[in-house]
């Protein structure tokens, strides 16, 4: 069975954290869920469980950053954008301190805890904060790179992780760069831009579209901020339609970011937004939630064909 993204995250923290004494890890009493517990077991002297006190945890993380440490601040994504937001805005964004916010159980992956625990606004919140970089993990190899990149980059950062295992998108030779999306499938008729858990359904949709005579290019936009504006405008120039797919509200997330680029770049190409349509999500399995809110590969196919007028 494939390892979950959160397991890869915890193991990669240990890989670098055992020898880099700048790395400290904080959690809000959910370390078994976020898998920061893997680090806690390996490096207990640099792990801090702050209990169910997310705002305090973020504030302590800020203090550690001010002292030259690299704090990885962990809890469910929804609590970072709410209870942890003041420290993110004041110390991460305004003061430009070296804080790494890691949102576990992003999107709808905390399905059985329901609307209070879904994180469908986190990308919108964090990408509005000056100085913050924003990433969404799309597979295991990319997750390992994101941890190393967070260590190497000095400045505030938000990384969204999912609860689940994700099928591999990349091989061992894959490369990633801040501010650059990756074309994971070439196509000429339509561009599907996705991130995180939605990249695999986008690729599956492209396979189905090919059987219907539609050539779909798929882009993994794992870096939401800074955004790859050049790639977006090139895709808009090359294809007749841009489709954005995200496990997030269609307001302010990946789709909104892409729309801003296309509008200011004068692309003149229509865009289809696939995501949650200004609603909170219900409780249920991830598959059931994807079906209810139109996030399956079949939904991507149907909405893309409609966008093309087919």
The residues carrying an active-site annotation are 54
- Whole-number Å distance between alpha carbons of 180 and 249: 22
- Whole-number Å distance between alpha carbons of 301 and 31: 38
Residue 150 burial by CB count (10 A; 0-12/13-18/19+): exposed, middle or buried?
buried
133-136 and 223-225 beta bridge pairing = antiparallel
Calculate the alpha carbon distances from 271 to 246, 257, 259, 260 in Å. Answer: 14, 12, 7, 11
Tokens of 96: 């430009």
Contact, 64 vs 21, CB < 8 A?
A: no
Contact, 274 vs 299, CB < 8 A?
A: yes
In sequence order, what are the beta bridge partners of 159? 102, 135
DSSP 139: S
DSSP 296: S
- Whole-number Å distance between alpha carbons of 262 and 260: 6
């Amino acid at each position: 069975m494939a390892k979950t993204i959160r397991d890869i995250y915890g193991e990669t923290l240990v890989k670098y954290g055992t020898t880099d004494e700048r790395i400290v890890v904080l959690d809000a009493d959910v370390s078994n869920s976020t898998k920061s517990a893997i680090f806690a077991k390996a490096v207990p002297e640099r792990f801090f469980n702050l209990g169910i006190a997310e705002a305090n945890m973020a504030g302590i993380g800020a203090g550690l950053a001010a002292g030259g440490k690299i704090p990885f601040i962990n809890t469910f994504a929804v609590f970072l954008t709410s209870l942890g937001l003041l420290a993110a805005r004041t110390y991460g964004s305004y003061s430009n301190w070296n804080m790494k916010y890691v949102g576990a159980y992003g999107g709808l992956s905390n399905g059985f805890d329901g609307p209070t625990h879904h994180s469908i606004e986190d990308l919108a919140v964090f990408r509005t904060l000056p100085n913050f970089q924003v990433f969404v993990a799309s597979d295991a190899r990319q997750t390992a790179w994101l941890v190393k990149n967070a260590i190497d980059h000095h400045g505030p950062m938000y990384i969204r992780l999912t609860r689940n295992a994700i099928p591999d998108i990349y091989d061992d030779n894959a490369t990633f760069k801040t501010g650059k999306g990756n074309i994971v499938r070439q196509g000429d008729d339509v561009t599907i831009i996705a991130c995180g858990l939605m990249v695999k359904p986008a690729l599956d949709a492209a396979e189905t579209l090919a059987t219907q005579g539609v050539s779909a290019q798929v882009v993994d936009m794992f870096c939401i901020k800074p955004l790859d504006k050049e790639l977006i405008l090139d895709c808009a120039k090359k294809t007749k339609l841009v489709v954005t797919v995200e496990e997030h509200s269609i307001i302010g997330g990946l789709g909104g970011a892409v729309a801003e680029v296309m509008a200011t770049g004068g692309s003149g190409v229509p865009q289809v937004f696939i995501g949650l349509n200004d609603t909170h999500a219900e409780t249920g399995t991830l598959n059931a939630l994807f079906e209810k809110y139109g996030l399956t590969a079949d939904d991507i196919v149907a909405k893309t064909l409609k966008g093309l007028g087919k």
